Chains A and B, each alone.
Chain A
């Protein structure tokens, strides 16, 4: 395809899921609410891979975002009859198992003849970890500088963030559902634009535009009125919030829009809030495909709920890929109790002191003990100032450490406070806190040359 054929063509990529646990209604509403070409579903946050890895440990057929199966089930007519193509990183740590489940769903729905599933693998570095370390790949923690060897025996998963190229390949092999593992969130949006418009692998500005389009819609409604602080009181009809759609042109400019008759609001302000979300150095938004420069972005209101995005500059990527590593990092538990007026805060503070003394008396040692006073200072700390005498305050008390039995013992010290601690206490109906194993995140870099992605198209 040459760009001249594309001069007036618009490609629509709709976001239907901003994380695993997002609104189940959104994919269907995006598929049915108006014209779209692609539905992009982002399921993976930093911590999601570790949750999926735990599920795969319990059952080797799991380890992917199961919500995805419900999502495709709700839109089979759009996929099979209207040609909407779906791109999702729902594969998690097990893309082939995810593809199996989608295939079975297609058979149940009687549409398997018109469904071709592309599966992208190769991001999983776990089986090669020792070989990589032996070969001099230190996989140092990007935050602390520590080499991975320090926690090697506790590693649960290791996945490279991969870019748009294998998704483009799956689309060119006529896949209408593309399932990846740890693709970057932004590649899920950029890949179909690169495929449709035939952008070159070194067309830095347009690739960067596709990445920034992806960044804007990867958190679903967070750019279309959800979690929008500016004028939040007047954002209309959040109950029917419209998820965002990128209307892209071949030249790399695009409009952020949403279906008609939906709620929420798309404005320069809502889009800007999403642009700065989870931002690092805005000059260098590094992806496997391109380094995008957020200081080049220009925004223009072009009508109700329409923002045009243009001017974007990009430059060549680095020779590294980011790696998402999950490792076992001990145990934690968090318990809560609610104290009521009068003097809710001093009562909760006394309970905190009593609890700490009892844990000390038991000889329990933790890496960290944190108490917060929800309703007084939990989220803004001393910046919140004097809370006065609020109607209630929740004591939220957490511990973490390597010793599971100590954390377990802690969980049995919350309930006794109801009868043997400060007065006017309630809100303990949830029962004893649960002990949770911590699977922590270890970000690292690896040479691009050691990661080979594979694309298989089934059907």
Chain B
């Protein structure tokens, strides 16, 4: 089943220099393991390919039902150097929530994940 991150998580993002961070938080605590299993470092790197120039790091915060991602080279130099509208990475959060996961039907049903055929599975994979 296709599940859009927007429907199972909320997020906030910010900056440190040229790095944007995205904190991704499960809306229902039982959905944290979906984030942990499917929103991998590789998956996020593929999602932001062409948008960031550096690597992606991932940290786990099961105590907050959250993952933290560091997106390096995201902000055109960051801070005052950046020419970007989003020079401080404030809306990388919602860019992350556009991601669509393909979850096995049985698992999705067991966790009562809100899904919809409306959302095409995100096409780019890390192997491409």
Contacts and interface: CB of A to CB of B under 8 A. Distances in A.
Interface in B3-41: 10-19, 21, 23-25, 27
Nearest to A46: B79
A275 B23 CA distance: 9
Interface in B61-119: 61-66, 68, 70, 76-81, 83-86, 91, 93-95, 98
B79 A276 contact: no
B61 A276 contact: yes
Interface string A256-299: 00000000000001001111111111110000000000111111
Interface residues of B, number: 44
A238 to B, nearest CB: 17
A441 interface: yes
Specify the main secondary structure of chain A where it touches its partner. mixed
Given A273-B25, A280-B21, A398-B83, A441 B78 contact: yes
Contacts of B64: 272, 275-276, 294, 297, 299
A439 B80 contact: yes
A279 B80 contact: no
A359 interface: no
Contacts of B83: 332, 334, 368, 370, 398-400
Nearest to B10: A230
Interface string A142-163: 1100000000000000000000
B80 A282 contact: no
Interface string B48-70: 10110000000111111110101
A180 interface: no
B97 to A, nearest CB: 8
Contacts of A443: 17
B63 A296 contact: yes
A234 to B, nearest CB: 13
Contact of A276 (B18, B23, B27, B48): B23
A374 B85 contact: yes
Contacts of B80: 47, 50, 329, 438-441
Contacts, number: 130
A363 interface: no
A378 interface: yes
A370 B84 CA distance: 7
Contacts of A104: none
B63 A298 contact: yes
Contacts of B91: 379-380
A392 interface: no
- The 7 A-B residue pairs whose C-beta atoms are closest, nearest first, are A276-B23, A398-B83, A278-B14, A370-B83, A230-B10, A273-B12, A380-B95
Interface of B: 10-19, 21, 23-25, 27, 47-48, 50-51, 59-66, 68, 70, 76-81, 83-86, 91, 93-95, 98
Interface of A: 46-47, 50, 142-143, 227, 229-230, 269, 272-283, 294-299, 311, 329, 332, 334, 368, 370, 372, 374, 378-384, 396, 398-400, 438-441, 443
Given A272-B66, A379-B85, A380-B95, 7 more contacts: A46-B79, A272-B23, A273-B10, A276-B12, A329-B80, A332-B83, A380-B94
